[in-house]
Structure 1
Amino acid sequence: MAVTLDDDARQYLARFEDVTDVAGQDCLVDERDGEERLIVVVESGRMGDAIGPDGRTVRRFETQVDRSVRLVEDADNPETFVANTLGPAAVYNVTISENDDTVAYVEVAEEDRGVAIGSDGRTIDVARRLADRHFDIDDVQLI
């Protein structure tokens, strides 16, 4: 599925690629309570390169864009992609159900449920937005 990027997202991805030498697949600007952060979907298998030694590479990018950044690794299948969007929570299983709506049901370790939801629901909200953009998944629910 083709992801449509606005001008700001394209500029952030171009700078991300310049700093990290890693292709960004998507970029969302997540704004809440006056705080903007970027969510960058990173080329599959290149997460370590994007982070860099001791996180230096991604921190350099954060400094250049003056925003916090969250990285999500891309995947070829929707189950793995949804699990990646909820990291660092321990995801045991993802089941995609296609009835009236397409819903990803995610089994998460009980102790990581709060991590998967995130502060004020930020993590699960981003997971829902990315799953919709990349795989036409209407909802992500924790079980």
Structure 2
Amino acid sequence: MTVKLDTEGIRCIGVFESLTGAGVKDCVVDNEANKVIMVVKKGDMGLAIGKGGSNINKVKKLLRKEVEIVEHSADIKEFIENLFRPAYVKSIELLTKNDKICAYVEVFN
């Protein structure tokens, strides 16, 4: 799958990586919600957050946006669980149709 980023996405990744030291696999910029979602490399979550949230707070201040961090995983079910954190995922059912995957996720209330 090819990921296409616009100049704002590339800028956000550059700022994030330089301030945190964490590697970014992908980024979604939602201007309507004034939010950026960063998908960081597996194992880089601690770097991204920083001690006491120092790194992520610097990024939020510089970008002037809310920033959400999701840890990447090559395992699709683990990645989906990471997307739903901090909710506890009870089950994930994956259905494939016409080369597309649909995930049904059940979380505990």
TM-score by length of 2: 0.90
* Number of aligned residues: 108
> Where does 1:12-23 land on structure 2 (aligned, <5 Å)?
12-23=12-23
1:56-106 deviation per Cα after TM superposition (whole angstroms, max 9, x unaligned): 110011111111100011110211111111111111222211135521011
What's the counterpart of residue 107 of structure 1?
106
Higher helix fraction (1 or 2): 1
What's the counterpart of residue 40 of structure 1?
38
What's the counterpart of residue 71 of structure 1?
69
Report percent identity of matched pairs.
31
1:31 deviation in Å?
3.2
**What letter corresponds to residue 76 of structure 1 in structure 2?**
A
Q: Distance in 1 between matches of 2:91 and 2:40?
A: 22
1:25-78 deviation per Cα after TM superposition (whole angstroms, max 9, x unaligned): 11111233xx41111111111111110111111001111111110001111021
Q: Distance in 2 between matches of 1:83 and 1:97?
A: 16
Task: Let me know the Cα RMSD of the aligned residues.
Answer: 1.4
User: 4+ residue stretches of structure 1 with deviation over 3 A?
Assistant: none
Q: Distance in 2 between matches of 1:37 and 1:99?
A: 31
**What letter corresponds to residue 48 of structure 1 in structure 2?**
G
